[in-house]
Structure 1
Amino acid sequence: MPFLVLIVVAVILAFSILTAALSRYRRCPSDKLLVIYGKIGKDASGEARSAKCVHGGASFVWPVIQDYQYLDLKPMTIEIDLKSALSRQNIRINVPSVFTVAISTDEGDMINAAVRMLGLGAQQIKDLAADIILGQLRQVIATMDIEEINADREKFLANVTHSVGAELRKIGLKLINVNVKDLVDESGYIEALGKKAAAQAINQAKKEVAEQERDGEIGKANAEQERRVKVSAADATAVRGENEAKITIANSEADRREREADAERRASAAEKIAIANALK
């Protein structure tokens, strides 16, 4: 009987341990980042690791010495209403824009996110990212002219992406997209640039139309000249042919008359010879 009790106790204990172990085995959904913290171990350099990050997998969380939390990987949209940013020409402009960011799943960036954003709510993360974006956006604008920002939008966005993206990675965020809306300045400089560009485009279009009309008239005159030259050449060839034909006919007629006269002379001479012979 005591032996049976020991078996039952052992089974219950094993089942309890297994249940506890299974309850500490955490799976990580695809849209989450599992952050395990506590006594994690040491990294390659021998220093204690601050956290262990798991994405798209699972890990065992030891009781007592470890705990865990999830970070949401869903993209976050942050509207930035930057006003009075100073350009390189000391002209202030407003740059309303929308940034899309998310917690990065790159190895080093995940640790940064775990260290700096674990326990923060979505709005707190947005506010932290917005502060970084505002500062970097002002720095980028300060290095560019208004004409460059307005005309070469791709270069402006590339500079913003490079500068903002590098700073966001320091807190574990990844920049997904940047959408800059219409730029506005208080002095009306950008509007004047637009009017100037429109006027230049209209003048260039008028110039091109005039050049096309001129080329058309020149082409028409050249074609008419070529037609007249060809017609004159054809008429001259026709007249020359007619004259040559007339000359050929006249020569043929002269030859005919000469042959007829020669034939008459021979006939007359033969007749005279015949008469003379008869008289003898």
Structure 2
Amino acid sequence: MVFFYRVAKASEYLAITGSGISDIKLAKKAWILPGQSCTVFDISPVNYTFEVHAMSAEKLPFLLPAVFTIGPRSDDMDGLLLYAKLISPHDKLSNHVKELVQGVIEGETRVLAASMTMEEIFKGTKQFKEEVFGKVQLELNQFGLIIYNANVKQLVDVPGHEYFSYLGQKTQQEAANQARIDVAEAKMKGAIGSKEREGQTMQYAAKIDAQTKIFSTQRQGEGKKEEIKVMSEVKIFENQREAEVAKADAELATKKAGWAQHAQMAEVEATKAVAIREAELQMEVERRNALRQTEKLKADLLSKAVVDYEMKVQEANWELYEKQKAAEAMLYEQQKIAEGQKAAAEAAAFSRQQQAEAELYAKKKEAEGLLAMADAQGAYLSKLLESLGGNYGAVRDYLMINAGTYQEIARINAEAVRGLQPKISVWTSGGEQKGEGGCAMREVAGLYKMLPPLFKTVEEQVGMLPPAWMGTMAAGRASTD
């Protein structure tokens, strides 16, 4: 009897069959008894490299280069038994095992690719890879194999079907077109922003000018108010305060109206800009939808000539679209220029209106001051007339004396007779009585004797009578000596 002891290496297992073993016995070391057979197999993973020929749902062929690292799982004895049965008559690098693995991978890849469009495969490469690995792993489980690693390279065109190359050209052209669109849009935003800033500058300048004129008018009005305040009484001061409150209310209402106008203008401009941008985006969406439909038709036709023709048509349409966008940008710029000019004209009109209102307000306040002064003088005269018992002559005489009217009359008469040699008449009421020469009242009596002829002379020359409180002159009592 011949028996021997076998020991497997670190990456190997012993597969023992024969007497005393019902199926297959796996071990790292064992005694090989007579009637038993021992096979050593390696469990280290093996790399399989190949290109899978597949076809999409649109009947588009393509190549899928892939590298799979496949081997048995060392911690799963059931899987090792299945793997041992697979390679027992072959080597792990034999064509049998490679063809088996390749057949499983190609079959599952073709089935999955046939259910997906080329666009879905190209855009969802990661998802496509995961689904391929999942389905391949299910098939390899029956052979005790597991995918340790798998790498899928870039999809490759089949000679005569250059779909991916055209798709790359299309992506490159779309990127270039999008860059040109972005540049044009940036220029448009710059031009619009510049015009908006110029318009705002003109509006603010007009607003400041109007406020300066209003402030100047306010200061002038305040000076007049102080002058009127000194010359008037409490009632005039209260009227001035009420006028200041009304003026503040008017200024606040004016500013609110201006702010509301600016807010409405900004809202309208923003609405129009949003509408224009929305129209542009809608046009872009429709253009891209049309491009997508065109690409789908090109994929269905699978004709290089049709693709070239569509590319030329697309380029022509794009040139037309660029010209249309340039024309629209120019039209939009002209519209903004016109709006800026309109805003400047409105600001100038607003400034003139503010100036006119300020002048009107000043005239109105001046008239109110004169009216208040007239009211105060009327109150003053009413009070004076009441104090003098309703005697209008006494009021008149008092005002004339207070205003220096009699002094002015005397001065004018003196000026009139200056340089002349007038005939002087002396009036007296009679001869001196005996005993009056030494009386202290003689001078006073002489003064009173002069008054009647003086009043008579004034009446004859200027037509004025003496005031009632100075007495009346009896007719025929004055005598000329």
Q: Which has the higher helix share?
A: 2
Q: Which residue of 2 aligns with 1:236?
A: 210
Look up the match of 1:210.
184
Q: Does structure 1 conserve the Cα–Cα contact (< 8 Å) formed by 2:79 and 2:143? A: yes
State the structure with more CA Rg.
2
1:109 is aligned with what amino acid? G
| Pairing partner for 2:48 from 78, 83, 93 | 78
Structure with more contact order per residue of length (Cα contacts < 8 Å, sep ≥ 6): 1
**Separation of aligned partners in 1, 2:156 and 2:15:** 41
Tell me if 1:91 matches 2:60. Answer: yes
Query: In 2, distance between residues paired with 1:53 and 1:143?
Result: 42
- Letter matched to residue 132 of structure 2: V
Write the letter of the residue equivalent to 1:247.
G
Rate the CA distance shift 1:71–1:227 in 2: closer, same or farther, 3 A. farther
Alignment of 1:154-165 (within 5 A): 154-165=126-137
The alignment status of 1:219 with 2:189, answered yes or no, reads: no
1:190 aligns with one of 164, 185, 191: 164
Q: What SS does structure 1 have at the residue aligned with 2:199? A: helix
What is the SS of the residue equivalent to 1:122?
Answer: coil
The answer to whether the Cα contact below 8 Å between 1:72 and 1:103 also exists between their aligned partners in 2 is no
Q: Take 1:35 and 1:222, find their aligned partners in 2: how far apart are those partners?
A: 87
1:1-280 to structure 2, matched below 5 A, reads 23=5, 26=7, 29=10, 31-38=11-18, 50-53=23-26, 63-64=33-34, 68-83=38-53, 85-105=54-74, 106-118=76-88, 120-124=90-94, 125-175=97-147, 176-185=149-158, 186-256=160-230
Question: In angstroms, what is the RMSD of aligned CA positions?
Answer: 3.8
**CA drift at 1:174:** 1.2
Q: Secondary structure at the match of 1:123?
A: coil
Matched length: 236
> Tell me, what secondary structure is at the counterpart of 2:70?
strand
Structure 1 pair 203/28, CA: closer, same or farther in 2 (3 Å)? Answer: same
- Which protein is richer in strand relative to its size? 1
SS at 1:208 equivalent: helix
> Displacement, 1:165?
1.8
How much has 1:255 moved relative to structure 2? 4.3
With structure 2 as the length reference, what TM-score do the two structures score? 0.42
Between 243-252 and 126-135, the greater mean CA deviation after superposition: 126-135
SS in 1 for 2:103: helix
Please, what TM-score do these two structures have when normalized by structure 1?
Answer: 0.67
Q: Do 2:32 and 2:38's aligned partners in 1 also have CA atoms closer than 8 Å?
A: no
Q: Deviations over 1:119-143 (max 9, x none)?
A: 5323213343223323333333333
Deviation of 1:65 after TM superposition, in Å, equals: 6.5
Q: Take 2:36 and 2:202, find their aligned partners in 1: how far apart are those partners?
A: 101
Q: Which runs of 5+ in 2 are unaligned?
A: 234-376, 378-397, 405-446, 449-481
Give the unaligned 5+ runs of structure 1. Answer: 1-19, 42-47, 272-278
Q: Percent identity?
A: 22
